[in-house]
Amino acid sequence: MFDLIVRVIEWVRFFLVPLDLVPVPQPPVRMDPWRRPWTSPTQDEAQAILRAREEATRKKRKLYYLPPGVFLPLPGARR
């Protein structure tokens, strides 16, 4: 929908209006509060970000069952 609005505004600018009078709206940019140059995150935001990162890494970890006598190869060992 936003793209359609922008396209209509561009056509209106092209046919009816001198180019400098009507700016084309830019979509709002959602930024990570850590990367915002003008502010640092509030304490609540920082805690929420860290909690979300911890949960994401926790979901990626997989636990495997190794029966007795089965060993994983040592890192750097030759095959």
Does 38 map to a domain? Answer: yes
Does 74 map to a domain? Answer: no
Residue 34 has pLDDT above 70, yes or no: no
Does 44 map to a domain? Answer: yes
Choice between 79 and 72, residue whose per-residue pLDDT is larger: 72
| Separation CA 43–CA 33 (nearest Å) | 11
The domain of 19 spans: 2-60
Query: Mean per-residue pLDDT for 10-37?
Result: 67
pLDDT bin (cut points 50, 70, 90) of residue 28 is low
* pTM score of the predicted model: 0.32
Does 56 map to a domain? Answer: yes
Residue 29 has pLDDT above 70, yes or no: no
Mean pLDDT is highest, among 4-18, 40-54, 57-71, for 40-54
Q: How many domains does the chain have?
A: 1
